Amino acid sequence: MSTPEAGRAGTAIAPEDVDAVRPRLTFFKVMAFIVGIGLSVLVVEMVLSYGFQMKGQDNPLYWWPQPHGFIYMVYLVATALLGFKVGWPLGKMVLVMLAGCVPFLSFWVERRVAGEVEASLAAARR
């Protein structure tokens, strides 16, 4: 059964799934924030490397690309866990995942996704 609030949020969450969605949403929100910060650091690393020709140990952030890649993979997992639980279509899940590749977009997408899922959670509790 779908309510107007759930329809606006995009997906309806079953009342029995509310407790399972909440920690997945928190995990997603944390990872979106971390990926957003990490991507900003990566942009600085790339500017230093390519813009100022600071190669190898000359670049104070030369070590950052590998940890950032790992963090991004954790973000992908967080997005998939949330997306599958709330019933997102695959296309939406992929777009949310790709938001972690564009500087500052992960912050905006995190706020939008969190708002949609929170609205669905509120509708499911009624």
Q: What does the pLDDT read at residue 37?
A: 97
pLDDT beyond 60 at 33: yes
Percentage above 70 pLDDT, the chain: 91
Q: At what angle do helices 65-86 and 90-98 cross, to 10 degrees?
A: 150
pLDDT beyond 80 at 89: yes
pLDDT beyond 50 at 2: no
**pTM for the full model?**
0.88
Which of 39, 51, 24, 28 is CA-nearest to residue 111?
A: 28
Proportion of the chain in helix, strand, coil states, percent, rounded to 5: 80, 0, 20
Rounded mean pLDDT, 54-67: 96
CB 4 within 8 A of CB 119: no
Residue found by looking up tokens 């929170």 in the block: 118
Percentage above 90 pLDDT, the chain: 84
CB 124 within 8 A of CB 12: yes
Q: What does the pLDDT read at residue 15?
A: 83
**Distance from C-alpha of 59 to C-alpha of 111, rounded to nearest angstrom:** 33
Rounded mean pLDDT, 18-22: 94
Average pLDDT, the chain: 91
